[in-house]
Homo-oligomer: A and B are copies of this chain.
Amino acid sequence: MFRVIEEHEQGRLGALDLGHGQVKTPVYMPVATRGAIRVAPLEQVNQIGFNLILNNTYHLVLRPGLDVLEQLGGTHRFMAWNHNVLTDSGGFQIFSLKKSRKIRHDGIEFKSPIDGSTYFFTPEFVAHAQNVIGSDIAMQLDICLGYPASTEEAKKAMDITLRWGERFLKADRIEGQKRFGIVQGGFNTQLRKESARLTAMQPFDGFAIGGLSVGEPEEMMFDLTAEVLSNLPKGAPKYMMGVGDPFQIVVLSSMGIDMFDCVQPTRHARHGWVYSWDDGPQIIVRGKHKFDHRPLQYQPQYTYSYLHHLFKAGEPMGMLIATVENLSYMADLVGKLRNAIASDTVDSLKEEIRLQWRKRIISE
């Protein structure tokens, strides 16, 4: 299902064969949480170069509900997306419902923020839900802590996640579906190593690193990732959950991560941060873009001036254009990254991206 095609000093090139076509790695996966990208038509997202996107199990179970997805033929038909879908289980989202969820040894009980009704997510239910959704890659149910977290908390979350992983793998799956385990362990090196080692003993098709990029220092994230990776099987695909920062993608891929997802590029777009290869992220509402006649990099029919105007005027087309621009940048980024890996020039790409992105503080 996953093949490492070329192994280089600073990363590797691979191919994931999934139910809806082959995906080249390293890959960035756009996030269509509730069955749509905010804001870009999926057809256009595919034209940009993506054939693997995310849905979120938790969100889809709450709305439209599994009954709708079952009757409508699963998420691919529902969204009109004939390419691959990875579904996160929703552990992250449920855990953040601090007040209205209860973690039990066999699952998580929580109240829907939409209508207050009670749900009970077990490893088996999450497997079932992802079967109904029709996920090409299904993620196990996990417990994802924030930063900081005590060793005790982290140990407990890790143990439960491991147990849930075993149960998840025993549940029925639809044909062709791949299942990924999730390494947890908080911010403790020993726990992270142990979690990786024990997760690796289960017959998962791939391994994700969860619970990082949640507020900890970047160096800590890189260090923990290195420890985890050295305890996971080399040949398996590795997925770093929730990372979409271009610089971090380049660094982590050179350490051996194959897959990335994050809402950041599309969220930035909605807030008027426009990515560009020349200047890095541009804050489009700034006055300097008022007369900026330069064409957008990926949609040269439009100028920065026009996009500036749309954002200043509150025209929703601005968000659409910016989203397409940022996703095009991300597709371009992983393309350049794959070329850099193949030609052993990751260092210079890393430096280029660092200069683009670190010259100013990116925040929302």
Contact = CB atoms under 8 A, between A and B. Distances in A.
Interface of A: 34-41, 59, 63-64, 67-68, 71-72, 78-80, 290-291, 293, 301-303, 305-306, 308-310, 312-313, 315-320
A38 B80 contact: no
Given A80-B302, A301-B80, A320-B320, A309 B64 contact: yes
A77 to B, nearest CB: 8
19 contacts: A34-B313, A34-B315, A35-B310, A35-B315, A38-B315, A38-B316, A39-B320, A41-B320, A63-B309, A64-B308, A64-B312, A67-B291, A68-B305, A71-B293, A71-B305, A79-B306, A316-B316, A316-B319, A320-B320
Nearest to A59: B313
Given A293-B71, A316-B319, A309 B35 contact: yes
A318 B318 CA distance: 16
A293 B72 contact: yes
A3 to B, nearest CB: 32
Contacts of A37: 317
A319 B320 CA distance: 12
Nearest to A35: B309
Contacts of A36: 310, 313, 315, 317-318
Top 7 nearest A-B pairs (CB, nearest first) are A80-B301, A36-B317, A64-B309, A36-B315, A39-B316, A34-B313, A78-B306
Nearest to A81: B301
A51 B60 CA distance: 39
B317 A39 contact: yes
Nearest to A321: B41
A265 to B, nearest CB: 16
Contact of A291 (B63, B71, B303): B71
Given A59-B313, A64-B309, A78-B306, 5 more contacts: A34-B315, A64-B305, A72-B293, A78-B303, A79-B306
B72 A305 contact: yes
Nearest to A37: B317
A134 to B, nearest CB: 14
Nearest to A63: B313
A38 B306 contact: no
Nearest to A317: B36
A79 B302 CA distance: 7
Contacts of A318: 36
A31 to B, nearest CB: 12
